[in-house]
Amino acid sequence: MNLDLIKENIENVLEDTHFPSLGEKKKGKVRDIYASGENLTLISTDRHSSFDRNIALIPFKGEVLNQISLFWFEKTKDIIANHVLNSPDPSILVAKKCTPLAIECVMRGYITGVTDTSLWTHYKKGKRDFGDFVLPDGMYKNQKLETPVFTPTTKNDKHDRPVTIQEIITEKLLPAETIKTLEEKSKALFARGQEIALEKGLILVDTKYEFGLDENNQIILIDEIHTPDSSRYWKASTYEERIQKGEEPEYFDKEFLRLWFKENCDPYNDPVLPKAPNDLVAELSRRYVEIYETITGNEFKHDFSQTTKERVSKSVLDLKTE
């Protein structure tokens, strides 16, 4: 999809939803989640969050994220069952209601990152023993790990906290048998993800998984999987050359929009933020579409005969009359 077409549809976005007939609503950063009976209806909006708030609306983002997750759920269902029931609209996922487990399962294949929880942040400060694994001296940023590592965190709306497997057991966050299963499934999912991504010319660098218990107390995969919002991707073809030059790998970059806000306002404290420039919004939309097409191998197709909001509303109406 070219930039001109995106710019023509820059206002064609799904910002919020209001469908009381779907059940009780919980508003997430990107998705509106409706709970009714044994099902959840997850509607992916075009909200783009950063600085703990919505900073822009990105055309087509919601359906891209939903469709990428569906692709990966299908590709990994032999490893572990997931919560998908059906998808009546490109932006909608109807899922099995589960009890979420208290741990977020983070897999890392490379030593990278700049956040407080990243491996590289701790490593460059001298840390080598991470509880469940030990890294050798002499590693450099963005280096591939000999074996991918499982680095779980607690779930918190404000700030996730890294925890070791032993801490999870000691703090009674999860039973030993459960966390062992989560580790095994996370490693298998990540191996599958890296394998398929590489076939598409991408390196799946790191990601997070969430799991829940279904009505039979069985562990299943929930939330999202291997989307560009939950995962880090690098371009495989230029990785070695750029590393040898001391450059950062080529990656799916959303940072330019964050930087614009940091340069033009105080995004954490200003009560009202300036409107993001259309050129930047369109470029970010284009990048979401590009990574969808790269990962799935499918051309991104959008119904331009109606607005996204109209399409989703009709799909919800059809859903309730089935």
- Output DSSP code: residue 111: E
Give the separation between CA 121 and CA 83, rounded to whole angstroms: 34
Report whether pLDDT(52) > 90. Answer: no
The DSSP result for 274-287, as a single string, is PPPPHHHHHHHHHH
Range 245-270 average pLDDT: 93
**At residue 159, does pLDDT exceed 80?**
no
Q: Which two tokens stand for residue 257?
A: 């929009």
Q: For residue 116, what pLDDT is reported?
A: 78
pLDDT at 118: 87
Give mean pLDDT, residues 275-301. 97
Which contacts of 305-313 are long-range, i.e. CB under 8 A and separated by 24 or more positions? 307/12, 308/12, 308/13, 308/14, 308/46, 308/59, 308/60, 308/62, 308/63, 308/91, 309/14, 311/89, 311/90, 311/91, 312/14, 312/17, 312/43, 312/89, 312/91, 312/92, 313/19
Euclidean distance between CA atoms 214 and 250, whole angstroms:
39
3-class secondary structure, 254: coil
Indicate the helix (H) or strand (E) that contains 320: helix 308-321
Tokens of 266: 């105080």
The model's confidence at residue 117, banded by pLDDT at 50, 70 and 90, is confident
Average pLDDT over residues 99-105: 96
Instruction: Give the pair of three-digit tokens for residue 32.
Output: 């509106």
Helices (H) and strands (E) counted in the chain, each on its own, are 9, 14
* Tokens at 146, concatenated: 């000999």
Percent of the chain having pLDDT more than 90?
A: 91
CA 111 vs CA 135, 198, 205, 224, 242: distances in Å: 10, 18, 9, 23, 16
- Can you tell me the mean pLDDT for 87-109? 97
* Terminal C-alpha separation, the chain: 33
Position 160 scores a pLDDT of: 77
How far is the C-alpha of 174 from the C-alpha of 302, rounded, in Å? 42
Residue ranges of alpha helices (H) inside 173-216 are: 176-199
3-class secondary structure per residue, 40-80: EEEEECCEEEECCEEEEECCCHHHHHHHHHHHHHHHHCCCC
Q: State the chain's mean pLDDT as an integer.
A: 95
Alpha-carbon span 113 to 96, nearest angstrom: 33
50 or 79: which leads in pLDDT: 79
Sorted by where each starts, the structural domains of the chain and their CATH numbers stand as 3-98+297-321 (3.30.200.20), 99-244 (3.30.470.20)
Token pair belonging to 311: 């399409």
